[in-house]
């Protein structure tokens, strides 16, 4: 996968990708606003010559937060999400972040396993953080250290023990 840094000229592409990855996609205006926020950066991953995935993060002080990541359905389970996540970890490190956080819906098995494979561990849980069909879904807070230890890679080492 070819990964490029997205700028204001890419907001329509980001909107198109996000809309294919999530039920409630973010608009180009949303991305424009988020990209204008200090410390934010977005990456677009291309496969087969077309945009296949996106990620958006924000670095504040020495912490990075993943705001969104997605791979369009056709390209899933080909290790592209893992590559894109790894690229955000590298960029966050370059920007001086020491720790990287994210929220994931408790029932999002694919994303949880993606993050777990990349070395993230659960550090918290926010009940009723998301709403879906009138029901509250908890968010798991996951984190990984970006400095002081070699990046963990648990891929191929079996299932998470925490769930």
**Among 5, 3, 54, which Cα is nearest to 30's?**
54
Cα distances (Å, whole numbers) of residue 146 to 58, 90, 109, 149: 15, 9, 24, 7
DSSP track, 120-153: -EEEEEEEEEEEETTEEEEEEEEEEESSSSPPP-
**Residue 134 CB neighbour total at 10 angstroms:** 5
Report which secondary-structure segment, H or E, holds 106.
none
- Which of 3, 54, 57, 111 binds ligand COA (CB under 6 A)? It is 111
State the minimum distance, in angstroms, from the CB of residue 68 to ligand COA: 7
Which part of the chain contacts ligand COA (CB under 6 A), choosing from 7-15, 27-35, 75-83, 127-135? 75-83
**Among 92, 94, 9, 10, which Cα is nearest to 45's?**
10
- Which of 19, 39, 82, 96 binds ligand COA (CB under 6 A)? It is 82
- Which of 35, 63, 79, 86 binds ligand COA (CB under 6 A)? It is 79
- Does 154 engage in binding with ligand COA (CB under 6 A)? no
- Does 3 engage in binding with ligand COA (CB under 6 A)? no
Identity of the residue, 38 or 162, whose beta carbon is nearer to ligand COA in the bound complex? 162
Tokens of 23: 């039920």
- Does 151 engage in binding with ligand COA (CB under 6 A)? no
Question: In this structure, are strands 2-6 and 63-71 parallel, antiparallel, or unpaired?
Answer: unpaired
- Does 89 engage in binding with ligand COA (CB under 6 A)? no
Identity of the residue, 20 or 96, whose beta carbon is nearer to ligand COA in the bound complex? 20
20-39: contacts with ligand COA (CB under 6 A) = 21-22
Query: Contact positions toward ligand COA, by CB under 6 A?
Result: 21-22, 69-71, 76-82, 104, 108-111, 113-114, 117, 155
């Amino acid at each position: 996968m070819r990964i490029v840094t997205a700028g204001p000229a890419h907001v329509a592409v980001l909107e198109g990708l996000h809309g294919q990855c999530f039920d409630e996609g973010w608009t180009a205006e949303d991305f424009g606003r988020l990209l204008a926020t200090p410390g934010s950066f977005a990456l677009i991953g291309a496969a087969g010559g077309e945009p296949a995935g996106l990620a958006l993060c924000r670095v504040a002080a020495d912490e990075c937060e993943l705001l969104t990541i997605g791979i369009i359905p056709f390209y899933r389970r080909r290790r592209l999400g893992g590559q894109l996540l790894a690229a955000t970890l590298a960029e966050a490190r370059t920007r001086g972040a020491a720790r990287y956080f994210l929220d994931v819906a408790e029932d999002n098995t694919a994303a949880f396993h993606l993050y777990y494979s990349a070395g993230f561990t659960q550090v918290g849980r926010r009940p009723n953080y998301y709403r879906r069909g009138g029901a509250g879904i908890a968010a798991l807070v996951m984190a990984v250290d970006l400095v002081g230890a070699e990046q963990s890679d648990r891929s191929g080492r079996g299932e998470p023990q925490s769930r």
